[in-house]
């Protein structure tokens, strides 16, 4: 894993922490959508029963999500 990948993972963990205990019994999750070495979308689980972090991140990225990871 590259140092850039580690930075993206750290950002996902920071986002996950925003969920606090509101996601229980599910874990807190953060997600980033990356394209061209830049974050184009971010998200986190906000509450139990709500959309997952990935949904929020893809919504935020919009059309930029095409071809991203």
Q: Which residues are catalytic?
A: 54
d(CA 62, CA 25): 29
């Amino acid at each position: 894993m590259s140092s850039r990948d580690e930075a993206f993972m750290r950002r996902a963990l920071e986002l996950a922490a925003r969920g606090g205990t509101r996601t229980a019994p599910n874990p807190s999750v953060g997600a980033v959508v990356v394209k061209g070495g830049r974050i184009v979308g971010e998200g986190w689980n906000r509450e139990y029963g709500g959309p997952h972090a990935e949904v929020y991140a893809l919504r935020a990225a919009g059309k930029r999500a095409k071809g991203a990871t």
